[in-house]
Structure 1
Amino acid sequence: MFQIPYEQTGYFSKLMIDYLGKNNQLSSLYNRFPSIENFKDQILEKQTNFSSANREILAESLQNQYAHFSVTAATQNNINRLKDTTTFTVVTGHQLNLFTGPLYFLYKIVSTINLCKELKKTYPEYDFVPIYWMATEDHDFDEINFFNFNQKKFQWNKEVSGPVGRLNTDGLQAVFEEFKKHLPLGNHANELANLFENAYLKHHNLADATRFLANELFGNEGLVIIDGDDVALKKLFIPHIKEELTNQSSFKEVEKSYAILKDAIIQVNPREINLFFIEDGLRERIVFEDDFYKVLNTELQFTREELLHLVDTNPEKFSPNVILRPLYQEVILPNLCYIGGGGELAYWLELKEVFTLHNITFPMLLLRNSVLLATEKQNQKRAKLNLSWEELFLKTDEFQQKKTKDFAQNIFDFEQQKQFLKEQFAALKEVALQTNKSFIGAVNAQEVKQIKGLENLEKRYFKAERLKNQDHLDRMLDLKIALFPNNSLQERVDNFSTFYVDYGKEMMDILLENLNPLEQHFAVVVL
């Protein structure tokens, strides 16, 4: 395995690099930085801020959610352990992407499992349970209805509305048949076909299909999969739903983070009310207008008393949006740490004051592992082409420019010449100021023309060098394109099936063996 520091990859935001570097300006936006030694204080804080009664409800709800599934001994043991006051969770969350979607779905869960193992080694007196939170109440179907296998997109076309976890799986037979046509013979193709068929054609809704699939991939590691669209769990969230409806306080609390995040892109903007109203086929925002609470795009409206009564009797009809979902998660779980991608952690950094308001412990935030998977054949080709992994992470234009310079036998330093020209024109401007100021315009125009001419010569020079070494450069580019599809990170494009078809479950074992979520490096793993 080869590792590259995140800041050297060019794929991570300044905010994430500052966070990983423990920039003092961000310290007020999180509770504790996720170093192994800091977990002890997080454990003690959460232990005092999570009741045994909630643990019993959580364990019973999970037992009910798994009622019609084959549960591994490891997962069942972890569900039972959640009743104990010495057991804590590490959580990652993800959308219900078709057939898991991009590869980083796996990396999130592997990071979560491996962190639990590291914590157990350091704190053997406690137990740690890896949790995958299914985003069943989401409604962005277009973001989850496809996956890419061997450069082909397989898409589930369907008219939908409401929370995606409740969607029936009608229409996936056609996707399955198309997928099977493109599976190669032998290797692990039959395993993949059976995995898709058993998940999506033998379960009636997307939540159950996703639970089955994640359980098949990671059940032996004790992964516990939770669905927040649950009546008993929503009852635990009732006081927080009421606070949001009556005081609309999250809006003000999130805005407190903006002054610190002023140089970063704000990931999510709060609403005055950060709750949806959900039923089968319906998930719409709740707004307060003309002294009534209204559900957008419906005829539904409630007085304050009516809506608060509905919260008490039917809390499952209220769904937190992206601002309140993290709070809901931490209310119902004895959680220590949330593991997510850079964009996720960026919006979590907006939320600490919301947790303070509700008196809920803010979890530690850990960036998930990022991985580039390469075959042994690709690694051998890289070595033969004398390419470093760092070079392959360069954007395509920069990569071509660098390798062209490397090929060039007679290197001409255009930057030096441009600097020389600028110095000459600076001296000429000094002379112009002492003679006739009207001469300045002509000098400036000539400077622009000369610099532009030099830049054009530079482009033609490198084009000529590229043409001279085109075959060699093309072989390099073929490898780069294979490893970085669409000039993007592989983990954001390819589905796990692309590699599983050749390596099977060994692929999972390799990831579990190699990834350490507490190491702040991008991992290159050769299969």
Structure 2
Amino acid sequence: MRQHSTIHFKDTGYFSKLMCDYLDQNEKVNAYYNNFPNIVGFRAQIKEKGGSFSKDNRIVLHSCLIEQYKGVKLSELTSDNLELLKNENTFTITTGHQLNLFTGPLYFLYKIISVINLTRRLKSEFPENNFVPVYWMATEDHDFEEIKYFNYKGKKIKWDREPGGAVGKLSTEGLDAVYDLIEENFGKGSNAKRLKNLFREAYLEQKTLTEATRYLANELFAAYGLVIVDGDDPGLKNLFVPFIEKELLENNCFNTVSKTNESLSLNYPIQVNPREINLFYLDEGLRERILIENDEFHINNTDLVFKKEVFLKMVREHPEKFSPNVLMRPLYQEVILPNLCYIGGGGEMAYWMQLKGCFNEVEVPFPILLLRNSVLLLDSKYERKMDILGIELYEIFLDQNQLIKNKVKQISDIEIDFSKEKKVLNQMFIELKALSDKTDKSFSGAVLAQEKKQLNGLEKLEKRLLKAQKRKYAEIVDRIAGLKEQLFPKSNLQEREANFSEFYELYGDDLIPLLADCLDPLGLEFDVIRP
């Protein structure tokens, strides 16, 4: 029988202080977001976005998406959602993700399910409005190293080819070699066969990585009405022209984000530092930074140089040649979508929080920011191992060394904890310090030195005793270490390392409905699901 538990994000030890403070609505974070992700916040966001998003933009958005979906088999719900985007009472909930091979890390699923579930929840709260789930493909990203592989049961399945320009335009030629690896490594059951067919249909029968990713995401989520957006579109970029010009001429993003970073850095690490110009020049096989020097625009790592007036004319006539970087992409998204909320991971939320001032400056509503659902899928065999080892759910998130230390102390037939001895020692030195106050400073110094020496001696003895007991219980120590590595590969969250294929082989078509049934995007807690 399926079981579902939650724990606080901060209790996992895997989430930043900024994210934990945000979820706690700590006043230190208030300046960096707009409305909080709760029903009251969404009511305010609907009013704000509804009053600013134009009918003309909706028509362009709809037209461009219909064109992007040509040749794609649409579910009835996705088709309906595309049509709803023309209506002034329709809003989107959006997540974005790179074009990772075969979805990459498992959390790809959690992002999209968070989006889908939030649209359902908002429809029940605000029935007079429509809410469309959107997946924004990062087609213009050029970091091929990050997307060219996925992990399957600890093995990296990799696409070997030379990178070049925006990844969305990469040909799928050569992915038959990856398919051979999948055939070799995946299982033999019906679920494994479905996965192999899915990879073949997506990556061997589509021409580009954009087409392959759209096909794959549509196959997985079309039944939920997911709308997939490719921002690398001349029609959509035409809507962004005024903001491209402003960035080129006024360095708006650099100025506002730099100011935000000054205050944010007083309490939290900075995720991304702005460039003077936060745009790339995009061409076939090329995505390079735009630099300005002596009133001319230079394309980094090339010989391309443009006079200002020529470059600005290009913006108006060929906006598709301009690509937003990580700090400008959120603005582009919010300009072209009637969006209420962006759902992402902790790192994404951190750089979005650097951008509120930038949005205010250009008078575009800043969306609600929502930390995506995070999940540990706890298979029954691992749960049995935890029971045998006496590990409680909250303990499995502990650092491996701390968990082993705790368990060895619990099962040891001798007392390893020297807390009582340290307490006695502390009391003795309190009395000696009182005596030293009545003598000269040299005696007082000797007392302090001796206290430090004795306490250090106890610490060393405790560590040596613990080490000896670890050797005595080596089998249990190894089993705990093995369990931690299986559930937290490379000391990381499962969702950041494993691929969905491992779990699809186990649960098949029940996997996504199972997650959709369990995950509450507004619950703001970490989920542990025992399927």
TM-score interval w.r.t. the shorter chain?
over 0.9
Structure 1 residue 432: deviation in Å? 4.9
For residues 343-374 of structure 1, the C-alpha deviation after alignment (integer angstroms, 9 at most, x for no partner) is: 11011111001111111110000000000012
Q: How many residues align?
A: 527
2:333 is paired with a residue of what secondary structure? helix
Correspondence for 1:192 among 185, 192, 195: 195
2:47 is paired with a residue of what secondary structure? helix
Structure 1 residue 411: deviation in Å? 2.8
2:140 is paired with a residue of what secondary structure? coil
Counterpart CA distance in 2 for 1:145 and 1:57 is 33
Aligned to 2:118: 115
Aligned to 1:472: 476
Structure 1 residue 111: deviation in Å? 0.3
Counterpart CA distance in 2 for 1:290 and 1:280 is 27
Counterpart CA distance in 2 for 1:186 and 1:59 is 41
2:441 is paired with a residue of what secondary structure? coil
Please list, as runs of the form range in 1=range in 2, the aligned pairs for 1:501-516 lying within 5 A after superposition: 501-516=505-520
2:35 is paired with a residue of what secondary structure? coil
Correspondence for 1:481 among 485, 490, 497: 485
Q: Which runs of 5+ in 1 are unaligned?
A: none
Structure 1 residue 279: deviation in Å? 0.6
Correspondence for 2:130 among 101, 111, 127: 127
Alignment of 1:61 with 2:55, yes or no, is no
Structure 1 residue 434: deviation in Å? 4.8
Counterpart CA distance in 2 for 1:218 and 1:369 is 17
TM norm structure 1:
0.97
Aligned to 2:497: 493
Structure 1 residues 279 and 438: alpha-carbon distance in aligned structure 2, compared to 1, 3 A threshold = same
The one-letter amino acid of 1:455's match is E
Aligned to 2:348: 344
1:366 is paired with a residue of what secondary structure? strand
Aligned to 1:327: 331
Aligned to 1:202: 205
Aligned to 1:16: 19
Alignment of 1:452 with 2:477, yes or no, is no
Q: Is the 8 A contact 2:264 2:270 kept in 1?
A: no
Aligned to 1:381: 385
Structure 1 residue 380: deviation in Å? 3.0
Please list, as runs of the form range in 1=range in 2, the aligned pairs for 1:334-373 lying within 5 A after superposition: 334-373=338-377
Aligned to 1:218: 221
What percentage of aligned pairs have identical amino acids?
50
Correspondence for 1:421 among 411, 421, 425: 425
Aligned to 1:257: 260
Correspondence for 2:238 among 203, 225, 235: 235
Aligned to 2:399: 395
Counterpart CA distance in 2 for 1:2 and 1:406 is 25
Counterpart CA distance in 1 for 2:416 and 2:316 is 76
Counterpart CA distance in 1 for 2:416 and 2:427 is 19
For residues 388-441 of structure 1, the C-alpha deviation after alignment (integer angstroms, 9 at most, x for no partner) is: 110111110111111112213443542343354345445545655654434555
Alignment of 1:5 with 2:5, yes or no, is no
Q: Is the 8 A contact 2:417 2:462 kept in 1?
A: no
For residues 194-235 of structure 1, the C-alpha deviation after alignment (integer angstroms, 9 at most, x for no partner) is: 111111111111111111111111011000010000000000
1:171 is paired with a residue of what secondary structure? coil
1:505 is paired with a residue of what secondary structure? helix
Please list, as runs of the form range in 1=range in 2, the aligned pairs for 1:102-181 lying within 5 A after superposition: 102-181=105-184
Aligned to 1:99: 102
The one-letter amino acid of 2:511's match is M
Structure 1 residue 151: deviation in Å? 1.2
For residues 66-100 of structure 1, the C-alpha deviation after alignment (integer angstroms, 9 at most, x for no partner) is: 10211111111111110000110000001111110
The one-letter amino acid of 2:58's match is R
TM norm structure 2:
0.96
Counterpart CA distance in 1 for 2:237 and 2:58 is 14
Structure 1 residues 450 and 337: alpha-carbon distance in aligned structure 2, compared to 1, 3 A threshold = same
Counterpart CA distance in 1 for 2:364 and 2:264 is 22
Counterpart CA distance in 1 for 2:151 and 2:370 is 27
Q: Is the 8 A contact 1:131 1:226 kept in 2?
A: yes
The one-letter amino acid of 2:257's match is V
Correspondence for 1:286 among 265, 285, 290: 290
Structure 1 residue 38: deviation in Å? 2.0
Counterpart CA distance in 2 for 1:280 and 1:421 is 73
Counterpart CA distance in 2 for 1:196 and 1:451 is 61
Structure 1 residue 260: deviation in Å? 3.5
1:379 is paired with a residue of what secondary structure? helix
Structure 1 residue 236: deviation in Å? 0.1
Aligned to 1:523: 527
Moved more, 474-483 or 44-53: 474-483
Moved more, 91-100 or 29-38: 29-38
Counterpart CA distance in 2 for 1:305 and 1:426 is 78
1:518 is paired with a residue of what secondary structure? coil
The one-letter amino acid of 2:10's match is E
For residues 248-306 of structure 1, the C-alpha deviation after alignment (integer angstroms, 9 at most, x for no partner) is: 12111112322144221100111111111011111111111122111111111112211
1:22 is paired with a residue of what secondary structure? coil
The one-letter amino acid of 1:377's match is K
Counterpart CA distance in 1 for 2:460 and 2:441 is 30
Counterpart CA distance in 1 for 2:256 and 2:192 is 51
For residues 142-197 of structure 1, the C-alpha deviation after alignment (integer angstroms, 9 at most, x for no partner) is: 11111001111111121112111111112211111012101121131111111111
Please list, as runs of the form range in 1=range in 2, the aligned pairs for 1:34-113 lying within 5 A after superposition: 34-113=37-116
Counterpart CA distance in 2 for 1:377 and 1:276 is 49
Structure 1 residue 22: deviation in Å? 0.6
Q: Is the 8 A contact 1:407 1:465 kept in 2?
A: no
